[in-house]
Chains A and B, each alone.
Chain A
């Protein structure tokens, strides 16, 4: 594969063809045009959906401007998270320090918005000029009486995945700081759903039907007070494990809360997510309700999916998404509608994720970690994919070479999680694969 840089050869593997464990979890190769962002980005996307907190970026304007209202994380209440605040460091601040500016910014914004907490993100440049952000946060915390949490996220201090960890640490400082008067015994925290296109609300409905109390949602439609009380839940249900496993682990160590890994994409994984929770609580009534719910949804959904499967069978898909766990669900969901996954890749997958993908996928499927436009465009041509599933940066790669595209990232406007999400997914794949416009691209 001559189009793969020598230093990246080990980050590509073929299902069935070689036993090599994929090399992952490493820094992107300079000059490779990685699709990944940075530590700051990782922390920002995870914390962003906490809707009643103030998010202030201490750094240059770009970091703030490019992450303004970046995710379609919906709120059922406050929308403070959708505002972008920045100290907009200037040359004189770089020389003389930006501490005073940061202090004044946080104070004025707290006075303006009266938030429940504030997250203060540091960026590359603050990592270099050495502003004592933690000290400023402590001072203001005393002054204003709300949690002011430094998020140490200089972009160069690792990859996007390290940013997830930084975000988990920031969230963890809130956990256990306050207890609500009463938290039901059979309550869970939902970790790693970001309420894109209102997906969280679909899940809440399912759990409600089963009689499960959802305590804190971290971070989709997230509230500071709920997160403070997160330690009183009986179980952490973790999706997007790449970003949230670390928080679950810290909560296990500190508060003894067990966790389980789930996915809400595709009907098998979605149903397991409900059954596993019922199983955890050893509650027959809950299990019956889950079965009833699944049965009801299946009765509606299966005939509809069959319609799509009949028409989509034989289509081939390329998947390149942020987290590998989502990629696994997507492979299964696509199979359900007759679509074969011929390329599966992610920005931040782990060895275990990739091994699982290898076992799951058909022989010959290309599996890739931290890919780039040159590789991806070669792969889709080589495997003759019809559809690409990815995010904003993958869309033009697909479109320029005549592939359908499905946005499974931050900016989606239709929910793709849950049973109705599965139907939306099928509809979107159908709409992109079967469009008449492809006759002009042949």
Chain B
């Protein structure tokens, strides 16, 4: 990581806004429809952005602020919005994310919710559960929006009763393939778990032939309620809220795992995203400790095959240089993994793409590793881009990219090795057929 000359403006932003992160979390709750309390554009832009990545329907409602709601308050639009969501979707849960507009004019969303409940409880109609998260775009990025929403949901829903042998796992902004892998791994270990948020189906659904208004899947509400009963928590990512520049709430922000630990004394294992052998070992060791069982044979062999692959291909990666970007937890995990295989990683904290592009001239990377938005830099430098993370708007299969654990690392490793080999082969005057 290095420091770079900063411009006042943000030029080709690497980050997105907080309500997008909130929407992802809400999509990972069973029976949930997200509502963004703000202008129509916020919901539509976020839908478009997520649809282009997941290639799935992403229905997000908006309270559609008008001039009138901006001046006199958005309660009327909020209530209408809730009523229409219920009429159209009959959701079990409505996840409400605020916006910079609703936060700036001081909307009292909890008050609106109370008001709605009070006026509808009397008539005996079914009232969904409401989860509210504060996600002004001027504070933090989509990554903070994601984490804050996990915390908000846990605070609102988790109850504390009798402690049971269950593990909470909060994987963060990983891919549907990553989530499916985690579930398989935990099942192989025989660990009872609550994984939250689980958008492995809702944002990567099978072909349904009917339009599912709310796609099947997501963490069931009953499971989220039991989060407070669990014995321990694993959460991926170590940078969250350590660096956010906020004028209020400094020092009071916690991750969901930290909150559960300080409130219900649930042991929190906060570990880096398990990318690479060392990080995955740490994760697996944690699971061994929690379960009291050794790693299942299947996964031990995956590690062995990964080591074997490292050995076979080590020369093709050693000494290479990678320019990486993305959410901080993701980037630090990637950087540690690259170091593990002898690749020098270059990244800039809190930067934008134009700064990266300018710095790339000095650093001279061999390839880029990150989401599809860095493609223009790779194109200009005529070097490969290995697409990982979010968003991937120019390829298919973003939901199936597996990043974590031994198996995910294996997939990433093959991709990186082959990208480098292909580059060399394509630029070779001979066009050889063997390595």
Residues of chain A having any CB pair with chain B under 8 Å: 3, 5, 7, 27-41, 56, 59-69, 83-95, 101, 104-105, 108-109, 124-125, 127-129, 154-160, 372-374, 377, 381, 392-393, 395-397, 399-402, 440-441
Contact = CB atoms under 8 A, between A and B. Distances in A.
B13 A88 contact: yes
Nearest to B99: A124
Given A61-B16, A66-B49, A109-B9, A125 B81 contact: no
A89 B10 CA distance: 10
9 tightest A-B CB contacts, nearest first: A38-B41, A62-B17, A31-B84, A155-B39, A377-B211, A60-B137, A31-B81, A105-B9, A30-B81
B9 A62 contact: no
A222 B210 CA distance: 43
B243 interface: no
Given A66-B49, A88-B9, A60 B39 contact: no
A62 B47 contact: no
B173 to A, nearest CB: 15
- Sorting the interface of chain B by its residue count into under 10, 10 to 19, 20 to 34 or 35 or more gives 35 or more
Given A33-B61, A402-B209, 6 more contacts: A31-B80, A56-B9, A89-B138, A108-B8, A124-B65, A374-B89
A441 B207 contact: yes
B10 A64 contact: yes
A154 B42 CA distance: 12
Contact of B51 (A37, A61, A86, A396): A396
B63 A30 contact: yes
Contacts of A39: 39, 41
B361 to A, nearest CB: 15
7 contacts: A5-B84, A38-B42, A64-B10, A67-B45, A128-B101, A160-B41, A393-B51
B299 interface: no
A108 B6 CA distance: 11
Nearest to B65: A156
B101 A83 contact: no
Most A Cβ at <10 Å: residue of B19, B39, B105: B39
A395 B47 CA distance: 12
Contacts of A401: 208-211
A86 B213 contact: no
A158 B69 CA distance: 11
A105 B6 CA distance: 11
A105 B136 CA distance: 22
Contacts of A402: 207, 209
Contacts of B105: 128
A84 B64 contact: no
A54 B167 CA distance: 52
B66 A156 contact: yes
Nearest to A34: B40
Interface stretch (B52-60, B193-201, B282-290, B324-332): B52-60
B409 to A, nearest CB: 29
Contact of A31 (B83, B205, B211): B83
Nearest to B13: A65
Contacts of A66: 16, 45-46, 48-49
B70 interface: yes
B139 interface: yes
A109 B12 CA distance: 13
Nearest to B87: A5
Contact of A91 (B69, B88, B139, B213): B139
A29 B12 contact: no
B3 interface: no
B418 interface: no
B202 interface: no
A417 to B, nearest CB: 23
B312 interface: no
Contacts of B66: 27, 156, 158
A441 B209 contact: yes
B11 A84 contact: yes
B209 A40 contact: no
Contacts of A440: 207
Contact of B100 (A35, A94, A374): A94
B82 interface: yes
Contacts of B247: 91-92, 95
Given A62-B137, A87-B9, A33 B59 contact: yes
A162 to B, nearest CB: 10
A395 B62 contact: no
Interface string B139-171: 101000000000000000000000000000000
B48 A400 contact: no
Nearest to A67: B45
B340 interface: no
A32 B61 contact: yes
B17 A373 contact: no
A59 B42 CA distance: 13
A374 B61 CA distance: 12
Given A68-B12, A156-B67, A125 B60 contact: no
B44 A62 contact: no
A392 B213 CA distance: 18
A12 to B, nearest CB: 14
A78 B248 CA distance: 43
Contacts of A159: 40
Nearest to B86: A31
